[in-house]
């Protein structure tokens, strides 16, 4: 790992910051990639077999779409963390590092001597950042968990509304993981900013559960005087339903909602058109009136009472659904755009890769991968002027940088050969 000092003329916020990532799967690798996009030098420590995502639908040996999506702009070092000789390499890495990231299974960091207390005692300026499934404390702190499990535990799965075969379904995007990654990157940036003033390192933590709850922020609030009795009643109703084996659809109706369901069934939803689907969002009285006028829906009520005449809204819903099926999606998009009503066709994810709006805003870019050729991929999610965040290249082939990295850390060829022969690291696939 090369020794770097910040370049005073650099336009990137994390220039000169050295990051060691002990991460796999999603949250920590993506957080490290965000730092790399901001100019940090990131070294990813992988198991001797590599990050498990390398082997998912491989396009080339140890290269996959999933791995590439969250591991760009990094160098990589395979390392057997449980081997006693690995401690020499870890010490060489962390003594030069500014940030260490990890998402070990609960309890493993302590067993490896990589927990925050141990590392901060040894490296006082180090920022130790970690992700856990359910947080560091409490009855579930020691449990393993991944995104789908946390979506279920946090209520996000129900809030997302997907179901099939009479059961709740998770969304395909691992949303809690990505939210945790963004939160962790924000925490690391904050810790670096504070360290510039205090000279002290920090412990930064994010959990998948807190991330999922943040995504569900609209429902993470209870006004005791207004909502307390309703929640008590709903809990009892749910308990009764579960005891008699009520269906998921029935149980879901017991979920209190801050949104006016009757009005949302008309003004905040997706509609079937003559050739597809259209999402509309009318979050105000003005927008509801504009939508009604644009599609020819006669809604004489302009108030905000969500309980106003349920029968009235049921008739309006049926009328609106019938009207929306009379025209193709693009015509409704044009009409509603002219009326100032937020609306969009429903697209498949792969279609966005050729979307003109995404292209106009540089939301994607093409990189040349040394093993699999041209790849179109997501650009940094934040734009900072003067190229503060840049599009990172693909990582080099797995294990191809081992000798170079260890040499930079001060180990000679004989020592490196010894590490390879002892199974501490590897220098080829």
| 289-to-268, 300, 325 alpha-carbon distances in Å | 13, 9, 20
Residue 88: inside a domain: yes
Distance CA 27, CA 39 (A): 19
**Same-domain pairing of 238 and 283:** no
Domain interval for residue 295: 259-357
Band (97; pLDDT cuts 50, 70, 90): very high
Q: Record the pTM.
A: 0.93
**Same-domain pairing of 250 and 263:** no
- CA 32 vs. chain centroid, Å, equals 12
**Same-domain pairing of 210 and 112:** yes
Residue 2: inside a domain: no
Q: What is the pLDDT of residues 300-328, one digit of tens each?
A: 765 655 555 678 888 999 999 999 999 99
Distance CA 53, CA 155 (A): 27
Q: What is the pLDDT of residues 12-44, one digit of tens each?
A: 999 999 999 999 999 999 999 999 999 999 999
Taking residues 276-293, what's their average pLDDT? 96
Distance CA 125, CA 75 (A): 22
Contact call for residues 130 and 103 (beta carbons, < 8 A):
yes
Residue 429: inside a domain: no
Least Cα distance to 153 among 171, 178, 137, 134 occurs for 134
Of 316, 338, 357, the domain-final residue: 357
Structure tokens at 297: 């829906």
**Same-domain pairing of 113 and 186:** yes
**Same-domain pairing of 325 and 369:** no
The SS3 assignment for 63 reads strand
**Same-domain pairing of 203 and 327:** no
Tell me the CATH number at 157.
3.40.50.10540
**Same-domain pairing of 197 and 177:** yes
Report the pLDDT value the prediction gives residue 3, as an integer from 0 to 100: 44
Taking residues 228-255, what's their average pLDDT? 93
- pLDDT of 6 higher than 80: no
**Same-domain pairing of 152 and 242:** no
Of 357, 375, 390, the domain-final residue: 357
Residue 426: inside a domain: no
Number of domains in the chain: 3
- pLDDT of 5 higher than 90: no
Neighbours of 42 (CB within 10 A): 29
**Same-domain pairing of 168 and 297:** no
DSSP state of 254: T
């Amino acid at each position: 790992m090369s020794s770097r000092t910040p370049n005073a003329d650099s336009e990137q916020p994390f220039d000169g910051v050295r990051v060691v990532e002990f991460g796999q799967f999603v949250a920590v690798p993506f957080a490290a990639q965000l730092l790399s996009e901001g100019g940090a030098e990131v070294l990813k420590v992988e198991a001797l077999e590599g990050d498990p995502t390398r082997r998912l639908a491989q396009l080339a040996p140890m290269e996959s779409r999933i791995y590439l999506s969250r591991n760009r702009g990094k160098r990589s070092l395979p390392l057997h963390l449980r081997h006693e000789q690995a401690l020499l390499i870890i010490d060489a890495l962390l003594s030069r590092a500014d940030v260490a990231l990890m998402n070990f299974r609960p309890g493993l960091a302590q067993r490896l001597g990589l927990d925050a207390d141990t590392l901060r005692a040894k490296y006082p300026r180090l920022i130790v950042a970690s992700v856990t499934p359910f947080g560091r404390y409490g009855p579930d702190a020691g449990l393993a968990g991944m995104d789908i499990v946390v979506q279920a535990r946090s209520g996000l799965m129900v809030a997302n509304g997907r179901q099939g075969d009479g059961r709740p379904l998770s969304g395909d995007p691992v949303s809690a993981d990505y939210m945790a990654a963004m939160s962790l990157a924000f925490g690391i940036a904050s810790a670096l900013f504070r360290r510039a003033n205090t000279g002290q390192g920090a412990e930064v933590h994010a959990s998948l559960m807190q991330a999922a709850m943040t995504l569900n922020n609209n429902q993470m609030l209870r006004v005791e005087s207004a909502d307390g009795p309703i929640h008590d009643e709903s809990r009892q109703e749910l308990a009764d339903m579960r005891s008699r084996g009520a269906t998921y659809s029935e149980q879901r109706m017991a979920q209190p909602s801050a949104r006016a369901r009757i009005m949302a069934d008309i003004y905040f939803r997706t509609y079937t058109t003559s050739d597809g689907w259209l999402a509309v969002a009318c979050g105000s009285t003005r927008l509801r009136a504009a939508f009604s006028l644009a599609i020819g829906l006669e809604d004489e009520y302009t108030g905000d009472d969500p309980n106003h005449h349920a029968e009235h809204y049921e008739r309006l819903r049926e009328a609106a659904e019938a009207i929306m099926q009379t025209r193709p999606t693009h015509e409704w998009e044009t009409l509603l755009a002219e009326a100032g009503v937020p609306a969009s066709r429903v697209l498949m994810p792969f279609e966005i890769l050729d979307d003109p709006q995404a292209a106009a805003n540089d939301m994607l870019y093409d990189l040349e991968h040394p093993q699999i050729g041209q790849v179109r991929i997501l650009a940094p999610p934040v734009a900072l002027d003067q190229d503060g965040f840049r599009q990172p290249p693909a990582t080099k082939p797995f294990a191809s940088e081992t000798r170079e990295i260890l040499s930079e850390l001060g180990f000679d060829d004989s020592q490196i050969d010894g590490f390879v022969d002892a199974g501490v690291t590897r220098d080829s696939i």
